[in-house]
Amino acid sequence: MYPFIAWVIFAPNQTNLNYMKFFIDTANLDQIREANALGVLDGVTTNPSLMAKEGITGKDNVMKHYKAICDIVVEGDVSAEVIATDYEGMVSEGLELAELHPNIVVKIPMIVDGIKALKYFSDKGIRTNCTLVFSAGQALLAAKAGASYVSPFIGRLDDVSTDGLDLIEQIRVIYDNYGFDTEILAASVRHPMHIIKCAEIGADVMTGPLSAMLALAKHPLTDIGLAQFLADHKKASANG
Ligand code: E4P
């Protein structure tokens, strides 16, 4: 009884205590299908560069592509980024994106007009992902504006000799201090160690390439062990 009461009082105020969500960071439908088939995928993040990489241009095609992604990952959130950088533009683009499918999360850049847009969508009950976050101050602002997700780009921080995981840790502390509901979506994940460290810190979500997810499954001792099991089985079957 007493340990339970202590847990209720002192448990960290995290939104997802049960598991870290796995999002795939791509607009490639084949990779999204492959990740979804693993059965551990919880959503998708895209950005204008990822859409361009797939050759998706023109508003109609972009909208169709988001719909196609939502049709693959039927129960997962799909972040769709606005292109406008002014408040009115972000609001009108975001409203159109949100109408596409209930799983669409409107992705808004961390700029001053973006903060206003986050607040607008939060007041309307439309979910948002605040992107291009590189500091704890930006993450604090995003949470105060009511962002559903905040996306610190850990790989890009590592690229400029700044530990991206330190930022995840800092945001975790700040959000837990005040009980913010905003989920920490560790973005720009590049490799399996990023994923493991994010899980240790308590990020709510990580988004990364399929290769990083698949790399989690790999261990040379697993391969050696399996080869041995199969060889022994073959030998025993041949003898018996
Ligand atoms: C997040 O939503 C972004 O799309 C993404 O994670 C950026 O990652 P990159 O630094 O690998 O481009």
pLDDT tens per residue, range 121-174: 999 999 999 999 999 999 999 999 999 999 999 999 999 999 999 999 999 999
Asked whether the predicted pLDDT for residue 17 surpasses 90, the reply is: no
Query: Which SS3 state, helix, strand or coil, does residue 200 take?
Result: helix
Look at residue 69 and tell me if it is in a domain.
yes
Nearest-atom index, ligand 1, CA of 208: 6
Residue 210 CA to ligand 1 center (angstroms) comes to 13
* SS3 (DSSP) at 28: coil
138 CB-side CA count, 13 A: 21
Ligand 1 centre from 141 Cα, in Å? 20
- 64 annotated active-site: no
Q: Is residue 11 part of a domain?
A: no
**Does residue 7 lie in a domain region?**
no
Q: Which of 106, 206, 207 to mutate to test the pocket of ligand 1 (most atoms within 8 A of CB)?
A: 207
Domain with 130 in it: 18-239
In a domain, 13, yes or no: no
Q: Cα of 222 to ligand 1 centre, how many Å?
A: 31
Is the pLDDT at 104 greater than 60? The verdict is: yes
When comparing pLDDT for 71 and 6, which is higher?
A: 71
Dihedral sign of CA atoms 5, 174, 104, 66 in order: negative
* 43 conformational bin, left if phi > 0, alpha if psi -120 to 50, beta if neither: left
Is 4 part of any domain?
A: no
Q: What is the mean pLDDT of the chain?
A: 94
Q: How many domains does the chain have?
A: 1
Residue nearest to atom 7 of ligand 1 (CA): 188
> For position 239, what pLDDT does the model report?
85
Ligand 1 atom 12: the closest Cα is on which residue? 188
- The CATH number that applies at residue 148 is 3.20.20.70
Q: What is the pLDDT of residues 68-86, one digit of tens each?
A: 999 999 999 999 999 999 9
Kind and range of the H or E run holding 116: helix 112-124
Whether residue 118 contacts residue 132, with contact meaning beta carbons closer than 8 Å, is answered with no
Tell me if 128 is assigned to some domain: yes
In a domain, 9, yes or no: no
Q: Is residue 151 part of a domain?
A: yes
pLDDT at 16: 47
Handedness of CA 188, 194, 197, 202 (dihedral sign): positive
Phi and psi at residue 77, to the nearest 5°: -70, 145
